[in-house]
Amino acid sequence: MSWGLENRLSRIIRPETGRTVMLAVDHGYFLGPTSGLECPNSTCMPLAPYADTLMLTRGVLRNCIDSSVDTPIVLRVSGGNSVLEEDLSNETIITSVEECIRMNAAGMALSIFVGAPHQHQTIANLAKLVDEGERYGIPVLAVTAVGKDMVRDTRYIGLATRIAAEMGAHIVKTYYCDDFEEVVRTCPVPIVIAGGKKIPEREALELASNGVASGAVGVDMGRNIFQSDSPIGMIKAVRAIVHDDVSVDAAYDIYRSEKADSGAAAPSSGDLEDDRKV
Ligand code: R5P
């Protein structure tokens, strides 16, 4: 692994703890103006200081994020479809590695859709991106999107994460499932947990806690942070779990206390309908 690639990886997974809190705000790449992310600048800027990385598209980065932000950037580089399409797996590479370098990205993120109609294409996209990433010293985060008919279990998640690692991904993002230790055991690269649809705050903290207890190096979480009634409270609470190994109770107290201090508004609608099993 080149020095540059290792250096960028250490900006994503914090060397002090070997863990990471990635903030996923790339939803608009196929969902458009997602609830809570209608104006990415006002959502992301207050959260950026608490995130180890921001995961987003180049369009949002260029137009909505101040260039003085020093939170490392993981650029989503796959896409090309919209929620209006039944089959979302028909993705291609939408942002070149040169653009990632220009935008000073610490990493590149791409989805693979295992078990979906365009499985082959997306896995081949990943392999090509890894070649490019290795050439220029940029790590690749593979987002394992699972086909609509597939059950999120160790067999299936294990299949998707292992394929991502075999293609050369440096980090894999996937969904938590029962017996997640087995998924971690059979995937030779670090795994981060996706948050999924908005759920009550305490449950989202349990998810993060279970993920790291099972061996994940952290989270790449979006809606359960930015759709919370206290996004800063949630990201602080998630950080405490990921980096300080605090209990769910202690983390929930962090969330509640931040919410009380900031006089949080009513809960957001959380009306996002992302029914992909990703
Ligand atoms: C999935 O393809 C994208 O990377 C999403 O932005 C990400 O999975 C969403 O994170 P969350 O499920 O925590 O909102």
Q: Could you read off the pLDDT of 236-276 as tens digits, one per residue?
A: 999 999 999 999 999 999 999 999 998 755 444 443 434 34
Nearest atom of ligand 1 to the alpha carbon of 198: 14
pLDDT of residue 27 exceeding 50, the answer is yes
- Taking the CA of residue 219 as reference, the ligand 1 atom at the shortest distance is 13
pLDDT at 143: 98
For the stretch 55-68, pLDDT in tens is 999 999 999 999 99
* Residue environment code for 140-162, b if the CB has 16+ CB neighbours within 10 A, otherwise e: bbbbbbbbbebebebebbbbbbb
Tell me which of 35-49, 201-215, 253-267 is least confident.
253-267
Could you read off the pLDDT of 96-138 as tens digits, one per residue?
Answer: 999 999 999 999 999 999 999 999 999 999 999 999 999 999 9
Q: What angle do CA 124, 54, 248 make, to 5 degrees?
A: 105
Amino acid identity, residue 137?
G
Q: What is the pLDDT of residue 230?
A: 98
Atom from ligand 1 closest to the CA of residue 25: 6
Share of the chain above pLDDT 70, in %: 94
Q: How much is the pLDDT for 150?
A: 74
Question: Could you give the CA distance from residue 32 to residue 214 in angstroms, rounded to a whole number?
Answer: 33
Q: Is the CB of 223 under 6 A from ligand 1?
A: yes
Q: Which atom of ligand 1 is nearest to the CA of 26?
A: 6
pLDDT digits (tens, 9 = 90+) for 179-207: 999 999 999 999 999 999 999 999 999 99
Sorted by where each begins, the domain ranges of the chain are 3-262
Distance CA 213, CA 55 (A): 23
Average pLDDT over residues 59-88: 96
Measured by CA distance, the residue closest to atom 7 of ligand 1 is 24
pLDDT band at 91 (very low <50, low <70, confident <90, very high): very high
Q: What is the pLDDT of residue 273?
A: 39
User: Pick the catalytic residue: 173, 236, 259, 277?
Assistant: 173
The verdict on the CB of residue 111 being under 6 Å from ligand 1 is yes
What is the average pLDDT value for the chain, to the nearest integer?
93
Give me the residues paired with residue 20 across strands.
Answer: 218
Residue 221: CB within 6 Å of ligand 1?
Answer: yes
Tell me which residue has tokens 């300080």: 244
Q: Please tell me if the CB atom of residue 194 comes closer than 6 angstroms to any atom of ligand 1.
A: yes
Query: Which residue has its alpha carbon closest to ligand 1 atom 10?
Result: 222
Q: Give the per-residue pLDDT at 102.
A: 97
* φ/ψ (deg, to 5) at 196: 85, -170
How far, in Å, from the CA of 174 to the mean position of ligand 1?
Answer: 9
Whether the Cβ atoms of residue 111 and residue 91 lie closer than 8 Å to each other: yes
Q: Which residue in 205, 262, 212, 260 sits closest to 47, CA to CA?
A: 262
CB of 195 sitting under 6 A from ligand 1 = yes
Neighbours of 184 (CB within 10 A): 20
Residue 222 in contact with ligand 1 by CB distance below 6 A:
yes
Mutation probe of ligand 1 site: the residue of 26, 60, 110, 242 with most atoms within 8 A of C-beta = 26
Q: What is the pLDDT of residue 152?
A: 85
| CATH class name, domain 3-262 | alpha beta
Predicted confidence at residue 274, as pLDDT, reads 43
Q: What is the pLDDT of residue 161?
A: 98
- Would the CB of 26 count as within 6 Å of ligand 1? yes
pLDDT bracket for residue 277 (50, 70, 90): very low
Is position 236 annotated as part of the catalytic site? no
